[in-house]
Chains A and B, each alone.
Chain A
Amino acid sequence: MGITFRTYFTAILVSVLYTLCALPFLVLLLFRGEDSRRKLWRKFILCYGRWILFWTLKIRGRIEYTDMRPEENSTGIFIANHRSASDAFLMAVLGWDLVQVVSAWPSKLPFWGFFAKRGGYLNIGRLPFEEFMESVCRELAHGVSIVSFPEGTRSGSKEMKQFHSGIFRVALAAQCPLYPLCIIGNENMPDRNFRMHDGKIRIFKLPRINYDEYKNMSAFTLKKHVRGILQAKMTQEEKE
């Protein structure tokens, strides 16, 4: 049985089982207010992500998390490189209450799109920029962090694409900390054709960048700065 078939079969099985297990708790959503409901949906997504990672990826890969110092962290924006579709699931290990910035097509996926919408995930493909900025600021003010993949699309390789500046313009307006998140090793887990391969995934949450450090930068300079930090970490780790 091929690794790709095994992985997707397990993922579907886990999705069905998890949804069935969580169903009684989802009934609680009916009696909650809008914010509280979205928070619960996000908890549901977080636990689901962990199940998927545990049952599908962990059995054939080792995931290392370094520089995880929650005591030094506050609500902010995670800036991650984007090699593979598994990146979105890997965010579950951060354990934060967070909202991901997604493009148009993942929002349209039958199962995942449904939950992403209910969790308040931000569809950058549909929101006008002003509205996107307001939504990010509102989430941050409610203690919800944001995860953004400014490359916009999966690179499918060790190479990092150029960054879009939208999220950095928002960061400058929101005056929040930025957390560069370096994801290494999952470029083929799965690859751009959604075929699964063996590998070892490593995630590095790099030291946060406070607003004071970047307040005098333009959005363009800031995106170059953060991309440079991620690139340096990748080069260092993948050379070893």
Chain B
Amino acid sequence: MKKLSSNEIENLVKEIFNEIFEIPLDELTPEKRIFEDLGLDSLDIVDLIINLQKRFGVSLRNNEKIREIRTLGDICDFFVNLDKNLKP
């Protein structure tokens, strides 16, 4: 995963949501809940994870923190923290 700024991460996450679920960008605000507000389900989550892994170039398979994600903002924070923890 190459180093990205918080803004770049947020834009990339939104871009992925827009591409795979065709959700308009203006609806993709950080407080939106993934299941209740954006309407994703467990099968959609599989699609999302595959795409996130591909675009960010990381494996999320054994990452327990991913289970704590509830909102779009949580996804961005997750990747910001992942980015911080990367060794330079």
Bound Cα distance A166, B42 (Å): 9
Bound Cα distance A219, B42 (Å): 13
Q: Cβ of A221 < 8 Å from any Cβ of B? A: yes
Binds B, one of A41-49, A90-98, A111-119, A157-165: A157-165
Complex interface bits, A120-164 against B, C-beta within 8 A gives 1, otherwise 0: 000000000100000000000000000000000000000000111
Complex interface bits, B33-50 against A, C-beta within 8 A gives 1, otherwise 0: 001100111111001000
Question: Taking CB as reference atom, which chain A residue is nearest B41?
Answer: A164
Pair B39/A224 contact, Cβ less than 8 Å? yes
Bound Cα distance A164, B36 (Å): 11
Pair A219/B39 contact, Cβ less than 8 Å? no
Contact of A165 among B22, B36, B43 (CB under 8 A): B43
Find residues 154-180 in chain A having any chain B CB closer than 8 Å to their own CB: 162-166, 169
Bound Cα distance A96, B39 (Å): 31
Q: Cβ of A19 < 8 Å from any Cβ of B? A: no
Pair A162/B21 contact, Cβ less than 8 Å? no
Pair A220/B20 contact, Cβ less than 8 Å? yes
Pair A223/B43 contact, Cβ less than 8 Å? no
Complex interface bits, A191-230 against B, C-beta within 8 A gives 1, otherwise 0: 0000000000000000000000000001111011001000
Question: Taking CB as reference atom, which chain B residue is nearest A150?
Answer: B41
Pair A218/B22 contact, Cβ less than 8 Å? yes
Q: Smallest CB–CB gap between A192 and chain B, Å?
A: 18
Question: Taking CB as reference atom, which chain B residue is nearest A220?
Answer: B21
Using Cβ atoms and an 8 Å threshold, which residues of chain A touch B20?
Answer: 218, 220
Q: Smallest CB–CB gap between A217 and chain B, Å?
A: 8
Question: Taking CB as reference atom, which chain B residue is nearest A162?
Answer: B39
Contact of A218 among B21, B36, B41 (CB under 8 A): B21
Excluding A218-B20, A220-B47, 18 further A-B contacts by CB distance (< 8 Å) are A162-B35, A162-B41, A163-B39, A163-B41, A164-B41, A165-B41, A165-B43, A165-B44, A169-B43, A218-B22, A219-B43, A219-B44, A220-B20, A220-B21, A220-B39, A220-B44, A221-B21, A221-B22
24 examples of A-B residue contacts, CB within 8 angstroms: A162-B35, A162-B39, A163-B41, A164-B41, A164-B42, A164-B43, A165-B44, A166-B41, A169-B43, A218-B20, A218-B21, A218-B22, A219-B43, A219-B44, A220-B20, A220-B21, A220-B39, A220-B40, A220-B47, A221-B21, A221-B22, A223-B39, A224-B39, A227-B39
